[in-house]
Structure 1
Amino acid sequence: MKALFAGVLAGLLTAGVALADDCSAQLPAWLEQAHPGQAGGVWLEDERGTYRVDAEQSICKVWPARPELTLIAVPLVRAEHDSHGETDLEVLLLDSARQDFVARLVEPNGLDWDAIYVTRLAFDTAPYRLRGDDLAFGLRISRENGSRVNPFSETQLHLYEFEARRLRLLLGELPVALSWGEWDTNCTGEFSETKGVVIITERIGNHGYRDLRLKDTRVERRIALVDGQCQTVEESTHRYQLPIEYDEERYLLPIELASDPL
């Protein structure tokens, strides 16, 4: 019996790895299916104008809770300049068995950049049960600048709902990580790092969507030369929580984040 169990477990693990490998291996074909002729960064045209698919930053992931669906995120570059760019964010859902798209959502200018540019996209498939037993999924968008003197990086969370063959943005641009600093590139300076966790509460709000709470922890440090050595001379930790409630169409960001993210 143990041998049989081990064999079944090994088979499941192997299948899981193969499924993950298949996602990455098949992504180029799915991009071509969604945007015929896109290979090689060729510029295409749609109702919004010209664009090219950024295949390098495109990602996919089989949705663990709903393995019949594969999640795909694609940057659609609209314009590129020396100091800034305009890029749409496209999110697609693929029927894993039939290999055809069942939903598509484009967020115009969702990945625009200037001095702060997009470095990574990653799907967040934690069990976001926002309404009843319905599951939402997340996409984390990471950005940073290229400054050594004033380093900056942030990660924002988007949450999506798939219902009645329709993909909808439930929550956008929620900052869940932020770090910045100002220093002399040698030692002396100040740094701040904030990490946030989204908590789903039991309170049912508008249209049956549960209230959320963003639980943040911010650590601030001041670093200086002491007796010829670089040391932390001051450190403080701040913890706070912000409520996030569903309005008529989506969750609204707390007013505190509009003026002072994290």
Structure 2
Amino acid sequence: MALAAQDDCGSQGAAIVKNAYPAAQEIPDQGFEVDGATIKVSASADDDPHAVVCRVWPARPELTLVAVPLMTRQSDDSNEGDLELLVVNSSDSAVRQRLRLPHLMNDDALYISSIAFDTARYRLAPGNMAFGLRVSLRGSSRPNPFGETTLWLFRIDDKERLAPVLDSLIVSSNQGEWDTNCAGEFHTTERTLSMVPSAGNAIADIVVDETNTTTISKPDKDGTCTDTGTESSNSYRLHYEASAYRAPEGLKRPE
């Protein structure tokens, strides 16, 4: 039975966890525990960034992509955990590939608000597709709002291993400072990716188109809040070098 195409695992979530982690112990109403980490399986992961997420891969519908948060500590102030990516058969949930990303679920003042698969057609070469993982962070300060989404890309390599080809590219960010009434300044960056042929490489290049917007808000003489905006754009070309794309540091989330 194929999994649902949405970002949730439906009734197959528990079966996937049991296949991937045979030593996992089921915890009533909580999920599973394995090697000191908690795995949460939810009927819908839309509002819970710490629950297992699944998505059928449209480019290869016989495969389903699974993100498993392995949480070792959770509190109101901060969380700690790894994220393990699985590629499983859509028919029987058998694990084909896996890759553990240490500390990816760690957060504190900036909290992880969502984990989602990006299954746009990232065509590296004929017969060679990548898929994306988007990790969104949010801040809790009202006078200093902050939001950011980073993109990772992965492929199944020639040795049938799951391998990262791009990490932590910031595809969306917004931040600002205001008086919580009107006056303030806000900055937004949006980036889109497109695959283009490479002049000297069998693997396609990635063109990143960037739009930056600055908005200044202030009350006019009548006390009405007015916005003034400016916009600029940039473009970057990422080349595939030594098994991965190299992005300028300014485009990536600092480690």
Q: TM-score range by the shorter chain?
A: 0.7 to 0.9
Match of 1:218 in 2: 212
Which of 127-136 and 115-124 deviates more? 127-136
How far apart are the structure 1 equivalents of 2:187 and 2:64?
Answer: 36
How far apart are the structure 2 equivalents of 1:82 and 1:229?
Answer: 38
TM-score, normalised via structure 2 length: 0.85
Match of 1:229 in 2: 224
Is residue 11 of structure 2 the alignment partner of residue 20 of structure 1?
A: no
Q: Is the 8 A contact 1:88 1:112 kept in 2?
A: yes
Q: Is the 8 A contact 1:38 1:44 kept in 2?
A: no
1:31 alignment partner, SS class = helix
Distance verdict in 2 for CA 1:61–1:205, change over 3 Å:
farther
Matches within 5 A, 1:10-49: 19-20=4-5, 23-35=9-21, 36-39=24-27, 40-41=30-31, 43-45=33-35
Measured on the aligned residues, the alpha-carbon RMSD in Å equals 2.5
How far apart are the structure 2 equivalents of 1:74 and 1:34?
Answer: 10
Is residue 72 of structure 2 the alignment partner of residue 78 of structure 1?
A: yes
Q: Is the 8 A contact 1:212 1:244 kept in 2?
A: yes
Is residue 198 of structure 2 the alignment partner of residue 198 of structure 1?
A: no
Match of 1:127 in 2: 121
Match of 1:96 in 2: 90
Match of 2:143 in 1: 149
1:228 alignment partner, SS class = coil
Match of 1:63 in 2: 57
Deviation, 1:109, is 0.9
Which of 142-151 and 35-44 deviates more? 35-44
Match of 1:3 in 2: none
Q: Is the 8 A contact 2:195 2:207 kept in 1?
A: yes
Match of 1:8 in 2: none
Match of 2:44 in 1: none
Q: Which runs of 5+ in 2 are unaligned?
A: 42-47
How far apart are the structure 2 equivalents of 1:258 and 1:169?
Answer: 15
Deviation, 1:43, is 4.1
1:209 alignment partner, SS class = coil
Q: Which has the higher contact order (CA 8 A, sep 6+)?
A: 2
2:244 alignment partner, SS class = coil
How far apart are the structure 1 equivalents of 2:14 and 2:182?
Answer: 45
Which of 25-34 and 93-102 deviates more? 25-34
Q: Is the 8 A contact 2:32 2:40 kept in 1?
A: no
Deviation, 1:246, is 1.8
Q: Which runs of 5+ in 1 are unaligned?
A: 1-14
1:256 alignment partner, SS class = helix
How far apart are the structure 2 equivalents of 1:24 and 1:102?
Answer: 20
How far apart are the structure 2 equivalents of 1:168 and 1:82?
Answer: 33
Number of equivalences:
240
* Identical positions, percent: 36
Which of 181-190 and 238-247 deviates more? 238-247
How far apart are the structure 2 equivalents of 1:43 and 1:139?
Answer: 24
How far apart are the structure 2 equivalents of 1:123 and 1:204?
Answer: 29
Bigger CA radius of gyration: 1
